[in-house]
Amino acid sequence: MNLLLSTVAIVSIGLMIGVEFAVSAFINPVLRRLADQPRAHAVMLFARSLGTAMPFWYSANLLLLIAEWVLLRHTSGALALAVAIGLWVLVIVFTLLFLVPINNRLQREEAHAAADQAHSQHLRWDRLHRARVVVLAAAMVLFLVAIRA
CA distance 91 to 65: 14
Tens-digit pLDDT string for the chain (149 aa) = 689 999 999 999 999 999 999 999 999 999 999 998 888 889 989 999 999 999 999 999 999 999 999 999 999 999 999 999 999 999 999 999 999 999 998 888 665 667 778 888 899 999 999 999 999 999 999 999 999 97
What angle do helix axes 2-22 and 115-148 make, rounded to 10 degrees? 150
Give this prediction's pTM: 0.93
DSSP 8-class letter at 131: H
Dihedral sign of CA atoms 39, 40, 41, 47 in order: positive
Residue 119: per-residue pLDDT: 85
Residue 7: per-residue pLDDT: 97
Residue 41: per-residue pLDDT: 87
Residue 63: per-residue pLDDT: 98
CA distance 129 to 135: 10
